[in-house]
Chain A
Amino acid sequence: MTDLSSLSLLEATTRLRSGAVRSLDLTRACLDRIQRYDAAVCSFLYVAPDQALDQARRADRVLARWRIDHGFPLPPLTGIPMAVKDVLCLEGMPATAGSRILEGFYPPYTATSVQRLIEAGAIVLGKTNTDEFAMGSSTENSSYGVTHNPWDLRRVPGGSSGGSAAAVAAGMCYAALGSDTGGSIRQPAAFCGLTGLKTSYGRVSRYGLIAYGSSLDTVGGFARSAADLLPVFQAIAGHDPLDSTSLRSPVPAVEWENQGLRGVRVGVPREYFIDGMQPAVERAVRQAVDVLRSLGASIHEIRLPHTDLALPVYYLIAPAEASANLARYDGVRFGPRRSGEGLLDQYLETRGALFGPEVKRRIMLGTYALSAGYYDAYYGQAQKVRTLIKQDFDDAFRQVDLIACPVTPTTAFGIGQHGDDPLSMYLEDVFTLPANLAGVPGIAFPVGFDEDGLPIGMQLNAPSLGEAALFHAAGAYQTVTAWHKERPVL
């Protein structure tokens, strides 16, 4: 019998439908992998085996009924075990956002994206590790332990959605949800050899997503290929009356039949190939661009002149928004409390003791950028430069349909490598931040390996709501390459 964890999501779907395998078998196989390997990988913060097995049995009954009567409704992800980043609420499971300030918190409602995943038939195995409040690029900032990269356990899986990425890469689930505020899906996808989608701002409801930077936060996901990820995207996307920033745009279909890229104009921005980049990354990305050309795309050098300003803009705007969003964690309505002399003292003690170092750093940075006398110089100026960064993309998308660029300057770095130097960690995000500031979607997918056997990712960006074009191009690339089929050995 084949190792069930090595199946792609679509292969698993085909076997479920034919009756060759049961959801119960897939779910048990995933739970078995978690039990065997997650002590070393540390990708899950919470696993709900009994709930998952119950859901799997229900899915098997739906599948059995459908096999007799093809008119019976069969949701697209029926019986597929998945995981959810622990910044998304799911009633009945704790939600920590990787923080001690939410220890023991059970959300009284379910995020729309997770609800839609469940309605699409997916089995939710549990919640995955994250940098505290999604603030980080390595998952080292979690208050509940560091996640390890399945390709090399001494290295980080990326972050902040590192738990979801590591779980998919380790074969503990077939797909997983994450969130991307500055690269938190694309960077771990690149580090773990996965396909990861950052959706357009407003494409997926954020109701039930624990907020970090509200003008930047997006919900998306990971799978082993674009074809596997598409049904996940289609399940979670679409307007939600519970999120006033969600767009009323129909969820697109993707024409896989037309595999070529004839007529597609791909821009390669000069600013994304910088000094200090790992040579293997540049080589692999340029080779991947050649593959796109061989599929019929035309390649154009383009300019995104304000790229180097994205980092200072992001690290003022995101912390400013975070400082406001995280004001709600005060030990009054939920979460643990540290007592003090009076209410103010209780706030100071609770927040001082229970937020981790990176969260405190960003809250203070944001508080400073918004404070009287500094607002115009920092936050106001960052918002204006954000306009210039967005205009770069608007200008580029008048000349090209897609932008192709690296996801990260290097492959996965070592655990502890950035030590206590926040600025050097922030520099890991240089190629992913601009898409969040502009609100455009991005897909990351594997395009090779470096000399240490670590995955290398490439990113494609499209204009807002252009996810179908991203899936089409990444899918076309994956029909003629096999990088996405490589699996780490645990």
Chain B
Amino acid sequence: MPAMALTRDEVRHIAQLARLRLTADEEARYRVQLSAILDYAARLREVDTSSIPPTASVLPFDAPLRQDVARTSNAAPQLMANAPEAAEGMFRVPPVFE
């Protein structure tokens, strides 16, 4: 196991945050693989970036704003056509509150 080893509980926590149900086998495998990748990534910590600003976008300028004008877009029935479950023109999901 590399220096950056994740625990099984950490893997479960990440999977829960990411909304992924993992099997026990997946938990074990991702623990090893993610630990190895994070261990590799740890070399970034050795770089002195105290005076370096972060790069979030490489666009040479800020995106200009367009006029806020209404335009036609997809009709609701087209968008609903892909729904796994729909009722009365709405997406149907299991109850959130009991």
Residues of A within 8 A of B94 (CB): 339-343, 345-346
Bound together, the chains give a CA A312 to CA B36 distance in angstroms of 12
User: From residue A10, how far is it (CB to closest CB) to chain B in Å?
Assistant: 33
A contact residues around B22 at 8 Å (CB):
352, 360
- A337–B84 touching, CB < 8 Å: yes
Interface assignment of B41: CB less than 8 Å from any CB of chain A: yes
A248 CB contacts on chain B under 8 angstroms? 64
**Secondary structure call for the A interface:** helix
Q: Is the CB of B91 within 8 A of A333?
A: yes
Q: Which of A312, A347, A423 has the most CB of B within 10 A?
A: A312
For B83, the chain A residues whose CB sits under 8 A away are: 332-334
- Chain A, residues 77-120, CB within 8 Å of chain B (1/0): the string is 00000000000000000000000000011101100000000000
Q: Does A225 contact B (CB under 8 A)?
A: no
A381 vs B18: C-alpha distance when bound (angstroms):
22
The answer on a CB contact under 8 Å between A390 and B95 is no
A14 within 8 A of B: no
Digitize A344-359: 1 where CB-to-B-CB distance is under 8 Å, 0 elsewhere: 1111110111010100
**Residue in B11, B57, B83, B84 whose Cβ sees the most chain A Cβ within 10 Å:** B84
Name the residue in B43, B54, B56, B57 with the highest tally of chain A Cβ atoms < 10 Å from its Cβ.
B54
* B69: min CB distance to chain A, Å: 10
Chain B residue at minimum C-beta to C-beta distance from A316: B41
Complex CA gap A437/B64 in Å reads 22
Is A360's CB under 8 angstroms from B96's CB? Answer: no
The number of residues on chain B lying at the interface, defined by a beta carbon within 8 Å of a beta carbon of chain A, is 51
Q: Does B63 contact A244, Cβ atoms closer than 8 Å?
A: yes
The minimal Cβ–Cβ distance linking B3 to chain A, given in whole angstroms, is 14
The answer to whether B44 touches A390 (Cβ under 8 A) is no
Which B residues are CB-close (under 8 A) to A423? 33, 36-37, 40
Name B63's closest neighbour in chain A (CB-CB): A244
Q: Are A332 and B91 in contact (CB under 8 A)?
A: yes
Q: A312 and B26: CB pair below 8 A?
A: no
A365 and B37 within 8 A (CB) = yes
Q: B49 to nearest A CB, angstroms?
A: 4
Is B79 part of the binding interface, using a Cβ–Cβ cutoff of 8 Å? yes
| Contact, CB under 8 Å: B45 / A381 | yes
Chain A residue at minimal CB-CB distance from B98: A342
* A360 touches which of B17, B26, B79 (Cβ 8 Å): B26
Q: Is the CB of A335 within 8 A of B66?
A: no
Given contacts A352-B21, A360-B30, contact A382 B84 (CB under 8 A): no
| Residue from the set B36, B58, B81 with the largest chain A CB neighbour count within 10 Å | B58
Q: Say whether A247 faces chain B, with CB atoms less than 8 Å apart.
A: yes
Residue contact B96 to A352, C-beta cutoff 8 Å: no
Interface residues on A, range: 35 or more
Known contacts A364-B20, A420-B29; A342/B95 CB under 8 A: yes
Most buried by B among A109, A355, A368, A388: A368
* B29 surroundings in chain A (CB, below 8 A): 420
Residues of A within 8 A of B30 (CB): 360-361, 364
> Is B89 an interface position by the 8 A CB rule?
no
Q: A364-B15, A385-B44, A387-B53 are in contact. Are A331 and B37 (CB under 8 A)?
A: no
How close is A150's CB to chain B, nearest CB, in angstroms? 31
Known A244-B63, A368-B34; contact A334-B41, beta-carbon cutoff 8 A: no
* CB neighbours of A368 from chain B (8 A): 6, 14, 34, 38
Q: Are A323 and B18 in contact (CB under 8 A)?
A: yes
Q: Which A residues are CB-close (under 8 A) to B74?
A: 108-109
Q: Contacting B54 at CB < 8 Å: which of A332, A340, A349, A386?
A: A386
Q: Say whether A247 contacts B59, CB under 8 Å.
A: yes
Is there an interface contact between A342 and B41, defined as CB atoms closer than 8 Å? no
- How many angstroms between the C-alpha atoms of A313 and B56 in the bound complex? 12
The B-contacting residues of A in range 302-349, CB under 8 angstroms, are 309, 311-313, 315-316, 323, 327, 330-337, 339-349
The residue that B19 contacts in the complex, of A313, A341, A351, A386, with Cβ under 8 A, is A351
Cβ of A384 within 8 Å of any chain B Cβ, yes or no, is: yes
- Does residue A377 face the partner (Cβ distance < 8 Å to B)? yes
Contact among B15, B64, B82 with A334 in the assembled complex (CB-CB below 8 Å): B82
Q: How far, in Å, is A216 (CB) from chain B's closest CB?
A: 9
A106 cross-chain contacts in B, Cβ below 8 A: 81-82
Choose among B16, B44, B54 the residue that contacts A387 (Cβ–Cβ < 8 A). Answer: B54
Please, which residue of chain B has its CB at the minimum distance from the CB of A248? B64
Are A363 and B18 CB-contacts (below 8 A) given A309-B43, A384-B53?
Answer: yes
Contact residues in A for B19 (Cβ distance below 8 Å): 327, 330, 344, 347-348, 351
CA distance A313 to B42 in the complex (A): 10
Tell me the B44-89 residues at the A interface (CB within 8 Å). 44-45, 47, 49, 52-60, 63-64, 66, 74, 78-79, 81-85
Hey, which chain B residues are within 8 Å of A477, CB to CB?
none
How near does chain B come to A375, taking the closest CB pair, in angstroms? 11
**Residues on A with beta carbons closer than 8 Å to the beta carbon of B34:** 361, 364-365, 368
B93 lies within 8 A of chain A by Cβ: yes
Can you report 25 residue pairs joining A to B where beta carbons are below 8 Å apart? A108-B74, A108-B82, A312-B44, A316-B41, A332-B84, A333-B91, A336-B84, A340-B94, A345-B94, A347-B19, A348-B19, A360-B18, A360-B26, A364-B30, A365-B37, A368-B6, A368-B14, A378-B44, A384-B53, A387-B49, A390-B58, A420-B29, A438-B58, A439-B59, A464-B58
10 nearest A-B residue pairs (beta carbon): A439-B58, A352-B21, A383-B54, A334-B82, A384-B49, A337-B84, A348-B21, A108-B78, A312-B41, A367-B18
